[in-house]
C-alpha cells in the first residue's frame, strides 16, 4: 500500500543481568526503552492520494455547510420581510374576526329578544281572546237587561207610606252644683 516508513514504537526490552556482585540484586521491574532508528526517505510525497481525497471531501463539506448557512440566513431574512409585509393583513383579519364575533353576539341577543317578544305577544293574544269572550258575555247580559227594561212601563206609581212617631225635643231638667264654677 504505502511505502512510507512508520516510526517505531519503543517497547521496553529487559536488560541482560550482569555477572558479578550485583548479580544477586533484585531487578526493579522496569525496563529501559530501546531506541530504534527510524528511516525516513527524502523526496517522498508528504500527502498521499487518499489523504488528498479526504481533504477534498472535508473542504467540499465545509463549503457546502457554509453555503447552506448562507441560504438559511437568506431564507430567514426573506421570511421576516414577508411576515412584516403580511402583518397589516393579519391585523385586518383579526379585526374582522373580532367584529364578526361581536356581530354574532348581537344576532344571538336579538334572537333571544325576539323569542321573548313572541312569548309576550302570544300571552297577550290569549288574554285578548279571554277578554273578547268576557265582552261577548257582557254584551249578551246587557242585551237581556235592555230587553227587560224595554218591557217595563214608563212610570210606576208606588203606594204612599205614612209613618207616625212622637218627637221629644226638650231635655230633662237637672240641678247640680259644682265648686269649679264658683257658685
DSSP 181: T
Position 139 in a domain: yes
Whole-angstrom CA distances from 132 to 124, 136, 139 are: 12, 6, 10
pLDDT at 76: 96
C-alpha cell at position 63: 463549503
The residues, ordered by sequence, that sit 6+ positions from 48 with a Cβ below 8 Å of its Cβ are 2, 4
Contact between 36 and 12 under an 8 Å Cβ cutoff? The reply is no
pLDDT at 48: 79
pLDDT at 12: 56
pLDDT lower than 50: segments of the chain: none
Distance of alpha carbon 118 from its chain centroid, rounded? 35
pLDDT at 74: 96
Give the bridge partners for 148, in sequence order: none
Residue listed under C-alpha cell 218627637: 167
CA–CA gap between residue 120 and residue 151 (Å, rounded):
46
Position 69 in a domain: yes
Q: How far apart are the first and last CA of the chain?
A: 172
Position 5 in a domain: no
Q: Mapping DSSP to helix (H, G, I), strand (E, B) and coil, where does residue 33 land?
A: strand
Position 165 in a domain: no
pLDDT at 24: 53
Position 13 in a domain: no
pLDDT at 151: 74
Position 11 in a domain: no
pLDDT at 129: 87
CA–CA gap between residue 183 and residue 177 (Å, rounded):
7
Position 180 in a domain: no
Residues in the chain: 183
pLDDT at 117: 94
- Report the number of distinct structural domains present in the chain: 1
pLDDT at 153: 72
Domain of 109 in residue numbering reads as 48-150
pLDDT at 26: 58
Amino acid at each position: 500500500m504505502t511505502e512510507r516508513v512508520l516510526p517505531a514504537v519503543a517497547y521496553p526490552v529487559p536488560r541482560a543481568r550482569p555477572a558479578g556482585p550485583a548479580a544477586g540484586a533484585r531487578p526493579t521491574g522496569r525496563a529501559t526503552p530501546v531506541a530504534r532508528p527510524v528511516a525516513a526517505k527524502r523526496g517522498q510525497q508528504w500527502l498521499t492520494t487518499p489523504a488528498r481525497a479526504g481533504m477534498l471531501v472535508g473542504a467540499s463539506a465545509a463549503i457546502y455547510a457554509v453555503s447552506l448557512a448562507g441560504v438559511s440566513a437568506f431564507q430567514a431574512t426573506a421570511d421576516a420581510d414577508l411576515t412584516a409585509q403580511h402583518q397589516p393583513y393579519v391585523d385586518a383579519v383579526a379585526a374582522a374576526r373580532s367584529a364578526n364575533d361581536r356581530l354574532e353576539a348581537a344576532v344571538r341577543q336579538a334572537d333571544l329578544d325576539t323569542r321573548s317578544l313572541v312569548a309576550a305577544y302570544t300571552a297577550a293574544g290569549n288574554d285578548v281572546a279571554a277578554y273578547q269572550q268576557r265582552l261577548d258575555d257582557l254584551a249578551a247580559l246587557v242585551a237581556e237587561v235592555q230587553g227587560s227594561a224595554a218591557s217595563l212601563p214608563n212610570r210606576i206609581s208606588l203606594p204612599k207610606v205614612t209613618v207616625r212617631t212622637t218627637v221629644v225635643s226638650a231635655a230633662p231638667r237637672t240641678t247640680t252644683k259644682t265648686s269649679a264654677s264658683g257658685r
